Structure 1
Amino acid sequence: MTARGATRAALAAMFAVAGALHFALTDAFAAIVPALVPAPRAVVLVTGALELAFAAAVLVPSMRRGAGVLLALYCVAVLPANVTMALDPALGLGLPPAVLWARVALQLPLIALIVWATRKP
């Protein structure tokens, strides 16, 4: 397996777990949805479904490139929720503040990794 292939597999696993957690911990995820976003529970369920779909799509060659672009944009869109959680560690699912801030700091490298792993060779 190539480095890109291994990265895609890791991304698929990560987003599959994250997507499933949206359904298992819906209320906890709804608590970090920024206040200006309506219907936080519905948003959490939709974003969970999106993460599951992205997890599958990055593994399908004919869908990979488009999925990568959409997944990168999705990561930009959910950044405010990650910042909200870091600013209020009580919302952080029991994670230490340093982990919450690391998650924010790693968002840009994650986006770059998604773009690299899903682009045409």
Structure 2
Amino acid sequence: MPRTVAPLTKDIAALAGLFITSGTTHLVKPEVFEPLVPSSLPRRRELIYVSGIAELACAAGLLHPRTRRYAGLASAALLLAILPGNVQMSANYGKRAQRKGTPAAQAAFAGTLARLPMQLPLIRTALKAAGR
């Protein structure tokens, strides 16, 4: 029995919108993301471009019923793949907050820490789009 296609719900559409916004920013202003790429990875600028293209492809796939299932799986995988970048961002902001000690630097660090657990509902939404 074939699986039914997950409907385009508000949360799936919002995930697609997030990918469109972020993917476009990756391509137009890649320098914003350079500090997020762990220094151990080679060809950092190229990785930023590839992840931006992947985000745009996932967004397009999530919006179309015929590709939503596969795009949901790809989106979950992408969100897991970029998690080290989010951790790197928190580490960078943590060092900055420790060095500067200003309320603004500490608030920025707290914001990056708060962002990390938000990956879970995004991954859950991606898996929902995949019918899982």
Q: Deviations over 1:48-95 (max 9, x none)?
A: 0110111111011110001101110111111000000011115xxx88
How do 1:2-81 and structure 2 match up within 5 A? 4-81=8-85
- Structure with greater Cα Rg: 2
* Range with bigger deviation, 56-65 or 111-120: 111-120
How many residues align? The count is 116
Moved over 3 A (4+): none
Q: Is the contact made by 1:8 and 1:118 (CA closer than 8 Å) also made in structure 2?
A: no
TM-score between both structures, scaled by the size of structure 2: 0.79
- Structure 2 regions of 5+ residues with no counterpart? 1-5, 97-104
Partner of 2:100: none
Partner of 2:102: none
Instruction: State whether structure 2 residue 120 is matched by structure 1 residue 113.
Output: no
Displacement of 1:25: 2.2
Structure 2 Cα separation of the partners of residues 109 and 13 of structure 1: 15
Instruction: State whether structure 2 residue 89 is matched by structure 1 residue 85.
Output: yes
Structure 1 Cα separation of the partners of residues 19 and 110 of structure 2: 22
Q: Which amino acid aligns with 2:61?
A: A
Q: CA RMSD in A?
A: 2.1
- Structure 1 regions of 5+ residues with no counterpart? none
TM-score between both structures, scaled by the size of structure 1: 0.86
Partner of 1:103: 115
Structure 2 Cα separation of the partners of residues 67 and 46 of structure 1: 16
